[in-house]
Structure 1
Amino acid sequence: MKQISSIAELRKKITNLKRQGNTIAFVPTMGALHEGHLSLMRLAQEKADKVVVSIYVNPEQFGPNEDFDSYPRQMEDDLKACEAEGVSIVFNPDDEIMYGSGKKYFKIKVDTLNEHMDGGSRPGFFEGITLVVNKLFNIVEPDFAIFGQKDIQQFQILSRMAKEFNHGVELVMAPIARANDGLALSSRNAYLSDQQRKIAPGLYRALKYVEKQIRDGVMEPKLLLNHQQDELEAKGFKNDYLNVFSMETMQPVEELESGNTYILAGAAYLGKTRLIDNIIIDL
C-alpha cells in the first residue's frame, strides 16, 4: 500500500496503474475509520482492480459551531485498516494541498436538493462537500466512487454533480452498516456516553416502525411521524427532523403514491452527538 499526500505524485501513480489496464475505485473518507468504511472498501474491491482511499477532514463542510477541531483523527490506525483491506493507495493531503492559500474566486452552489434533511439543518454543508469531492474526482479520476447509504442526501447530490459536471465516474451506493442493535455506524458514535449508546438505536427503531405502517398501507404518515418524534423526545433525543422525502427531489412528501421511491429519514441529537439514519421505501 502506498501513502501519498502530493497531488502530482498521486496523479502519476494512478496514470501508471491505468496504463497497465487497471480500473480504479475511490472511497473518500474523513478518517476515524470503522466497519462502515471498511464495507465500502470491500465493495470497491469488487468493482475495480485497484482501490484508492482518501483520508481528509474537510474544513469546508463544518459550520462555525461544529466539531471540526474535535473530529476524531487516528491516522495510524486508519492506515493499518486500509492496508488490511487491500487498499492500493491512501491519499492524505493537508489543507494547503487541497485548497492552497490566498483568495478564492470560485465556489459551488447547490440548488434545492439541499433545502431539507441535513442540508436544511447545516447551511453550507453540501457546498463544502461538493467542493471537496469535485476536487477529489478531478485529482483521482476514478472509474467508480463508493459512498454509503447513511449519507443518502450526499449521494444524491454528488450523483447530480457528477452528471452535470461531466465526471467520468460511476457512483455506487453501499448499504448502511449497522451494529447488532441496529445503530448506523458512524465516526461520531465515539462521542456517545455508555447511557446514550444504549438509547441511540431508538432512532432506527422509530424509522422501522413508520416503515412498517407505510408498507401496510398508510399513505399519509404525518401523524405517525409526529408521534414517533414525541416518543424519541421522551427517550432523551432532541429531534432535528423525521420525515419522508422524495428520492428524486429531496423534498418532503406528505401524501405517498404507489410507483415512487421515498426516503424515510431522521436526524436527532443525544447530548451533543448528532445521529442520522434512513430507510429507502419503494412503493
Structure 2
Amino acid sequence: MHIVKEISEVRSLVKAYQMAGKTMAFVPTMGALHQGHLSLFRLAKDYADEVVVSIYVNPEQFGPNEDFGSYPRTLDRDLTFCEEEGVSIVFTPSDEIMYGADKKYLSIEIDGLNDHLDGGSRPGYFEGIVLVVNKLFNIVQPDYSVFGQKDYQQFLIINQMVEEFNHNLKLVMAPIERAEDGLALSSRNAYLSDQERERAPKMYELMKIAVREIKAGLLEPKLMLEQQQNELEALGFKNDYLCVYSMDKLTPVSQLKKGETYLIAGAVYLGKTRLIDNIIFEC
C-alpha cells in the first residue's frame, strides 16, 4: 500500500496503474474510519481493480462554531484499516498541499439542491465539500467514486458537479451501514456518552414507523413527522429537520403519489452530537 502526501505522487502512481490497464475507484474520507467506510472500500473493489482513499479533514466544510478542532483524527488506525482492506493508495495531504499557503481559490456556488436538509442548516458546508471533492477528482482522476447513502444530499450535489464539470467518472452510492441497534455509523458517534448512545437509535426507529404509517395512509406526512419530532424532543433530542423530500431535487413533499420513490431525512442533536439519517422508500 502506498501512503503519499504530495499531489505529484498520487498522479504518478495512478498513471502507472492506468498504463498497466487497471481501473481506479476513489473513496474520499475525513478519516476516523469505521465499518461504514470499510463497506465503501469493499464496494469500490467490486467496481475497479485498484482503490484510492483520501484521508483529509477539510477545514472548508466546517462552520465557525462547528467541530473542526475536535473532529477525531486517528491516522495510524485508519492506515491499518486501509491496508487490511487492500487499498492501493492512501492520500493524506496537508492543508497547504490542498489549498496553498495563502489559501486563495475560486468558490463554487450551489443552486437548488443546497436549499434544504444540511444545506439549509449549515451555511457554506456543501460549498466546502464541492471545492475539495472537485480538487480531489482532478488529482486522482478515477473511473469510479463511492459515496454513502447516509449523505444522500452530498451524493446528489457531487453528481451534479460531475456532470457540470465534465468529470470522466461514475458515482456509486453505497447503502447505509448500521450498528446492530439500527444507529447509522458515523465518526461523530464517538462523541456520544454511554447514555446518549443508548438513546441514539430512537431517531431511526421513529423514522421507520413514520415510513410505515405514511405508506399505509394513516396520517399526512407533515402531521406524522410532527408527532415524531415531539417524541424525539421528549427523549432529549434537539430537532434540526425531519421531512419527506423528492429524490431528484430534494424539495419537501406534502402529497405523495403511489409508486413514486421518496426520501425521508432527519437531523437531530443529542447532547453536542449531530446525528443524520435517511430512508429511501416507495409509496
Question: Into which bin does the TM-score normalised by the smaller protein fall?
Answer: over 0.9
Q: CA RMSD in A?
A: 1.0
Q: Distance in 2 between matches of 1:41 and 1:146?
A: 8
Contact 2:189-2:273 at 8 Å conserved across structures = yes
Question: How far apart are residue 251 of structure 1 and its match?
Answer: 1.1
Any idea what the Cα deviations from partners look like across 1:242-265, whole Å, max 9, x if unmatched? 100111111111111124321100
- Structure 1 segment 73-222 matched on structure 2, within 5 A: 73-102=73-102, 104-218=104-218, 220-222=220-222
SS at match of 1:233: helix
Q: Distance in 2 between matches of 1:32 and 1:130?
A: 21
SS at match of 1:190: helix
Q: Distance in 2 between matches of 1:166 and 1:260?
A: 30
State TM-score, norm by structure 2. Answer: 0.98
Equivalence for 1:29: 29
Question: How far apart are residue 219 of structure 1 and its match?
Answer: 7.4
Question: How far apart are residue 204 of structure 1 and its match?
Answer: 0.2
Equivalence for 2:240: 240
Change (3 A) 1:96 1:37: same
Contact 2:31-2:78 at 8 Å conserved across structures = yes
Query: Number of aligned pairs?
Result: 283
SS at match of 2:145: strand
Question: How far apart are residue 214 of structure 1 and its match?
Answer: 2.2
Gaps of 5+ in 1: none
Q: Distance in 2 between matches of 1:243 and 1:23?
A: 39
Gaps of 5+ in 2: none
Q: Distance in 2 between matches of 1:250 and 1:58?
A: 25
Q: Distance in 2 between matches of 1:177 and 1:99?
A: 32
Equivalence for 1:63: 63
SS at match of 1:213: helix
Contact 2:268-2:275 at 8 Å conserved across structures = yes
Contact 1:219-1:256 at 8 Å conserved across structures = no
Contact 2:63-2:125 at 8 Å conserved across structures = yes
Question: How far apart are residue 216 of structure 1 and its match?
Answer: 1.6
Q: Distance in 2 between matches of 1:83 and 1:265?
A: 34
Q: Distance in 2 between matches of 1:259 and 1:180?
A: 30
Question: How far apart are residue 112 of structure 1 and its match?
Answer: 1.3
Q: Distance in 2 between matches of 1:147 and 1:218?
A: 34
Question: How far apart are residue 105 of structure 1 and its match?
Answer: 4.8
SS at match of 1:278: strand
- Structure 1 segment 40-51 matched on structure 2, within 5 A: 40-51=40-51
Question: How far apart are residue 164 of structure 1 and its match?
Answer: 1.1
Contact 2:96-2:103 at 8 Å conserved across structures = no
Equivalence for 1:269: 269
State TM-score, norm by structure 1. Answer: 0.98
Q: Distance in 2 between matches of 1:248 and 1:259?
A: 15
